[in-house]
Structure 1
Amino acid sequence: MTSLPGPLTTDEPRPEGPRRVVLVDDHDIFRAGVRHELTAAAPDEIDVVGEAGDVEQAVKVITGTTPDVVLLDVHLPGGGGAEVVRQVHQIDPKITFLALSVSDAAEDVIAVIRAGARGYVTKSISTADLVEAIGRVATGDAVFSPRLAGFVLDAFSGSISVESIDEDLDRLSQREREVMKLIARGYTYKEVARELFISIKTVETHVSNVLRKLQLSNRHELTKWATDRKLV
């Protein structure tokens, strides 16, 4: 785990007591597991004060509890983790986010950090390291799993173009991204439906939403859009 120190952007001293944490992940079992691990390993250091499973619920819970740290998955129904950060920071820019995701893709890392998250670790992290990471971001450090720190440093050095991780992609839900990539690869609606175990009508709805959000007219433009960004 890599820590990049930085100033804590608050003028108020932190009150004594455990870190107040909100868990945001769309899998109930995963949230339950993280809650158990954190409270069992560090009962005097961590107090889980809320949970949420989608963007809308997350914004309500976070702004209602004002935690020290939000553990945030990057793929969520309703717009993704980056959207949670953006909406919450419009209300309270002092809220600190630590992304906790199975994804180690550069586009996911850069998108959520650009939105305002303070760190990014993968779900393979140990409980002890996660407790430490929560404490670090709560006091102003930027914390990343070692490989992910490289993505961030490359983005700021110019090796990765931040512009290529564009806001258009951030607008798509995880399912819309899956459909978009298959359509861009030349799959028919029927093939996409079979691949993702959804109905053809659902595929049509997702494609329509993708085209609208990306301001594209047809699947040929979508294929070019995805190819230019090396998504397929």
Structure 2
Amino acid sequence: MHRNAPEITFLALSVSDAAEDVIGVIRAGARGYVTKSISTDDLVDAISRVATGDAVFSPRLAGFVLDAFSGSISVASVDEDLDRLSQREREVMKLIARGYTYKEVAKELFISIKTVETHVSSVLRKLQLSNRHELTKWATDRKLV
């Protein structure tokens, strides 16, 4: 997002506090990242601070960002290819790479088989892979499974 519109400043609000999610969003240009557990007052403050140019993170999330840029986080956590995938696509990809069938993935994630197929197609397209075997090798090479 930042590459296409560098003048836009944004704060990410997410349910996830996973390092790879935080780093991916920051690399996309976010000036801050907070989780949905934030209080209303703190959220209003965070939005105001980001609007004036400050960076806003909870202490735990700030640690992820500092670690990523100091080289302490593994390459898999800041992999540009992985950053292209949504959280749900990552979940589907990891299960497929572990050998789950589409039906098993659907049951595990409480989604339809058609939705699994859609996510797998999207993952393969984004990663420029041809099939689930290439996907498994890709995920294994990055120690994601």
Q: Give the root-mean-square deviation of aligned CA atoms.
A: 2.2
Distance in 2 separating the partners of 1:96 and 1:113: 11
Residues 76-112 of structure 1: per-residue CA shift (max 9 Å, x gap): xxxxxxxxxxxx5456422211111110011111111
Q: Deviations over 1:28-63 (max 9, x none)?
A: xxxxxxxxxxxxxxxxxxxxxxxxxxxxxxxxxxxx
1:178: Cα distance to partner? 2.3
- Pair 153,174 (structure 1): closer, same or farther in 2 beyond 3 Å: closer
Offset of residue 171 of structure 1: 2.4
Contact 2:19 2:61 in 1 (8 A): yes
Q: What is the Cα deviation at residue 227 of structure 1?
A: 2.6
Bigger fraction of residues in helix: 2
CA distance in 2, matches of 1:122, 1:160: 20
* C-alpha separation in 1, matches of 2:111 and 2:32: 34
Tell whether the 8 Å contact from 2:76 to 2:143 is kept in structure 1 after alignment.
no
Instruction: Write the distance in 2 (CA, Å) between the matches of 1:204 and 1:149.
Output: 36
> What is the number of residues matched between the two proteins?
145
Report the 3-state secondary structure (helix = DSSP H, G, I; strand = E; otherwise coil) of the residue aligned with 1:100.
Answer: strand
CA shift at 1:131, angstroms? 1.7
Q: Is the 8 A contact 1:100 1:123 kept in 2?
A: yes
Decide whether aligned partners of structure 1 residues 152 and 162 sit closer, same or farther in structure 2, where only a CA change above 3 A counts: farther
Whole-Å Cα distance in 1 between the matches of residues 4 and 132 of structure 2?
A: 37
Return closer, same or farther for 1:134/1:171 CA change in 2, 3 Å cut-off. Answer: same
Q: Is 1:164–1:229's contact at 8 Å kept on the other side of the alignment? A: no
- Given that 1:101 and 1:122 are in contact with CA atoms closer than 8 Å, whether structure 2 keeps it comes out as yes
For normalisation by structure 2, the TM-score amounts to: 0.84
Unaligned runs of 5+ in 2: none
Are 1:149 and 2:62 matched, yes or no?
Answer: yes
Return 5+ residue gaps in structure 1 as ranges: 1-87
Q: Which moved more, 1:135-144 or 1:197-206?
A: 197-206
Q: Does structure 1 retain, via aligned residues, the 8 Å contact 2:33–2:56?
A: yes
Deviating more after overlay: 164-173 vs 146-155: 164-173
In structure 2, C-alpha distance between the alignment counterparts of 1:130 and 1:176, rounded to whole Å: 28
8 Å contact from structure 2 (residues 23, 77) kept in 1: no
Q: Matches of residues 204-215 of structure 1 in structure 2 within 5 Å? A: 204-215=117-128
Q: Aligned in 2, Cα 1:219/1:123: closer, same or farther, shift over 3 Å?
A: same
* Cα displacement (A) at 1:127: 1.6
How far 1:129 sits from its partner (Å)? 1.4
Q: For the residues of structure 2 that align with 1:100 and 1:231, how far apart are their CA atoms?
A: 25
For residues 134-170 of structure 1, what are the alpha-carbon distances to aligned partners after superposition, in whole Å with 9 as ceiling and x for unaligned?
Answer: 2211221111011000011111111124675222223
By how many angstroms is 1:191 displaced? Answer: 1.1
For residues 108-123 of structure 1, the aligned pairs below 5 Å read 108-123=21-36
Looking at structure 1, the residues matched to 46 and 115 of structure 2 have their Cα atoms a distance apart, in angstroms, of: 39
User: Quick check: which has more Rg, 1 or 2?
Assistant: 1
1:202 CA drift (Å): 3.8
- Partner of 1:196 in structure 2? 109
TM-score (norm 1): 0.55
